[in-house]
Amino acid sequence: MYAETLRFGVQIHIPRCSPHQPLSVAGVTIPPDKMIFINTSLAHTDESVWNTRNGEHPLDTFWAQRFLIDPKDEGSGPTRKECSQPLESTPRGEYKRMDGQGSSSGQFTLEGLDGSWIPYGGKADSRFIKLSTENTGPAIDRM
């Protein structure tokens, strides 16, 4: 649910520049040292990448199981099947389904999402730092 919260509920503008050479983006040339902003919402709602389970879970809705692969369910996982990469078939955990249909084994995955899931500006280290901070913040507040 945490990963889907970041996909669905957090849209930011990421500043980027190419300090030494021109940058070509969608046929437009950006001069060196000029700032551009990338909106994560565009990547987080790209229907050519993200799985909507045949329209059951549109990208403008929250789907708690979007990042889970269930080996028994062809419609599971974060990416459309045309985009997905092979995964190991052994699930790592048991997850309770939010639709009231009992529990379902599933494996959390980010495979196939390079450039399409950009939490905290796309830096992997900041993802873990932020998660750690959010988990310890309430404890610090009580001290």
> Residue 84's domain spans which residues?
2-11+41-137
Q: How many structural domains does the chain have?
A: 1
Whether the predicted model's global pTM rises above the 0.75 cut: no
User: Which pLDDT score, from 0 to 100, does residue 115 have?
Assistant: 85
CA distance 97 to 77: 14
User: Which pLDDT score, from 0 to 100, does residue 105 have?
Assistant: 63
Question: Is 134 within 8 Å of 127 (Cβ atoms)?
Answer: no
80 assigned to some structural domain: yes
User: Which pLDDT score, from 0 to 100, does residue 133 have?
Assistant: 44
**Ranges of residues in the chain whose predicted pLDDT is under 70:** 83-105, 122-143
26 assigned to some structural domain: no
The residues with which 30 forms a beta bridge, in sequence order, are 23
User: Which pLDDT score, from 0 to 100, does residue 123 have?
Assistant: 59
